[in-house]
């Protein structure tokens, strides 16, 4: 099985992270927690340890100002770029705008990082912060695919959220999964299907996290 090929299987989505205190801390935007200050300021260090422990992804918050370390594909009409206006954590977040697409047409954005080494038997958590500016967009999907040392596919976990079921404003979406016994590495994928609804047809996303828990 080729990497990053999905099935139609779906699991019931779950929003947020456990614990009222943790939820409160992690939901507060932190625009001043930017590299290298995020490793110096005590509040930023504490917040990073609580909200994003052991992140295995590179450039998870798009703080390079672009999509460095991310593989990506999207329809040419979509404007995808890192902007300060889209930040939830740090200086930059990712802005996805459908404003140049034909009104009523559904278009996609696909972001992924591959060959992330994991510990067999552990549990992992893939999460990200998202802000749908228009609730008329279609859905966002998180995907984890597991492979053995020879690159053979073992299993996948997928979770999907309809934008109409999400709350307005910034929120965290989470996919948790068990790492199969023979796993050597994994791919993670974010798939967003949106539409130019004619009313601010854009989505902001920030700080993607993939960690063993």
CA pair distance 142, 191, nearest whole angstrom: 7
pLDDT digits (tens, 9 = 90+) for 85-136: 999 888 899 999 887 888 777 889 999 999 999 999 999 999 999 998 765 6
CA pair distance 130, 111, nearest whole angstrom: 14
Write out the two tokens for 93.
């977040």
**pLDDT (0 to 100) of residue 50:** 59
Q: Quick one: fold of 54-212?
A: Jelly Rolls (2.60.120)
**pLDDT (0 to 100) of residue 37:** 61
Q: What is the mean pLDDT of each run of 10 residues along the chain (213 residues)?
A: 39 39 59 62 63 80 91 90 90 88 84 94 95 76 96 96 84 96 96 76 89 90
Q: Where are the domains of the chain?
A: 54-212
pTM of the model: 0.76
In eight-state DSSP terms, residue 54 is T
- Cβ density class 79-92: b for 16+ within 10 Å, e for less: ebebeeebbbbbbb
């Amino acid at each position: 099985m080729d990497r990053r090929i999905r099935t139609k299987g779906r699991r019931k989505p779950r929003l947020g992270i456990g614990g009222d205190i943790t939820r409160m801390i992690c939901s507060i935007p932190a625009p001043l927690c930017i590299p290298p200050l995020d490793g110096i300021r005590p509040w930023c260090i504490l917040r990073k340890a609580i909200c994003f422990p052991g992140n295995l992804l590179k450039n998870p918050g798009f703080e390079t100002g672009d999509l460095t370390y991310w593989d990506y594909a999207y329809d040419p009409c979509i404007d995808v770029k890192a902007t300060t206006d889209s930040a939830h954590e740090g200086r930059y977040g990712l802005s996805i705008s459908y404003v140049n697409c034909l009104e009523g047409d559904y278009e996609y954005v696909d972001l992924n990082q591959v060959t992330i080494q994991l510990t067999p038997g552990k549990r992992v958590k893939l999460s990200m912060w998202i802000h749908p500016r228009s609730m008329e967009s279609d859905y966002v999907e998180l995907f984890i695919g597991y492979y053995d040392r020879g690159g053979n596919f073992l299993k996948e976990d997928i979770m999907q959220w309809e934008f109409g079921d999400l709350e307005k404003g910034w929120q965290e979406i989470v996919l948790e999964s068990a790492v199969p016994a023979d796993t050597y590495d994994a791919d993670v994928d974010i798939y967003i299907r949106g539409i130019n609804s004619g009313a601010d047809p854009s989505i902001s996303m920030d700080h993607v996290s993939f960690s063993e828990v």
